[in-house]
Amino acid sequence: MSGRSQFSVVIIATYNVNSVKARAHAVVDWLRERSPDVVVLQETKCTDDVFPKTIFEDCGYCVEVHGQKSYNGVAILSKITLEDVRCGLPGDDEDDQARWIEATVVNKRALRICGLYLPNGNPAPGPKFDYKIKWMQRAYARAKILLADEMPTIMAGDYNVIPQNEDCKNPEQWVGDALTRAETRAAFRRIINLGFTDAFRLNNSEAGHYSFWDYQAGAWNKDNGIRIDHLLLSSQATDRFRDSGIDKFMRGRERPSDHVPVWIELNL
């Protein structure tokens, strides 16, 4: 055949599972339906020795984990070979929170994927908000280094950033919150302005698309959601973009996470 099928189509997703042990079977059901090639998970909430790896390996995924006891924790599931796995966001030797993992996906071409769980930062102002902003500055520095490598790059995860008011149902409810504060949005834009694109906005321009609905106060029934789970694409990754979406139906299932998966389709 002549050079028409130089690339293959891959699906890459991010999913904050709010405990991988509590959600393993829900995740497996979703893996069978969506059949993503690579998934970054957040809030796995367990140490690496008790991560339910075999459940995902039995579905055909290799599993890379970076966890801690009870809080945070990130992982990568991939049907495609992973190389050069790195855990932890550089820039602060004192930081022991498990919020960053990255790896190179080696298919016909290579792609760098970062899975991140950006600090929530509430209450703001305060030490937790200071940690959030410093963490975003470190992510900016890491993003800059990754871009210099000139490999198509995706930074995906729970950003705990509502980029614009149209990314939430009730903007007035979020005034002063760490997810919408001017400093937070500026730090997010600073990363974007390095040359990244919010993949979901390439094919969805309307307000009212959300990736998180709080468990409390009937947020789901009122569709009182926010869009905080993002896949940021470097320019070379953006050139390969085909489609994106949010698997909102997952929030309506039994014992759901408070987040739902967000995915993209790329030509790789």
Partner DNA sequence: ATGGTTGCCGAGCAA
> Which residues are at the interface with DNA (CB under 7 A)?
18-19, 21-22, 45-46, 69-71, 119-120, 122, 128, 215-217, 255
Taking the least distance from each CB to DNA, the nearer of 153 and 184 is 184
| First and final C-alpha spacing in the chain | 18
Answer whether the bond into residue 52 is a cis peptide, omega within 30°: no
Taking the least distance from each CB to DNA, the nearer of 117 and 196 is 117
CA angle 172/211/155 to nearest 5° reads: 110
Q: Which residue has the tokens 């949010």?
A: 246
Q: How far is the CB of 219 from DNA (least distance, A)?
A: 9
Q: How far is the CB of 38 from DNA (least distance, A)?
A: 23
Q: How far is the CB of 234 from DNA (least distance, A)?
A: 27
Q: How far is the CB of 12 from DNA (least distance, A)?
A: 23
Contact partners, residue 258, CB within 8 Å, separation at least 6: 16, 18, 212, 213, 214, 215, 251
* DSSP strand pairing (9-16 vs 62-66): unpaired
Taking the least distance from each CB to DNA, the nearer of 159 and 196 is 159
Q: How far apart are CA 253 and CA 33, in angstroms?
A: 14
Taking the least distance from each CB to DNA, the nearer of 154 and 178 is 178
Query: Which residues are known to be catalytic?
Result: 117, 158
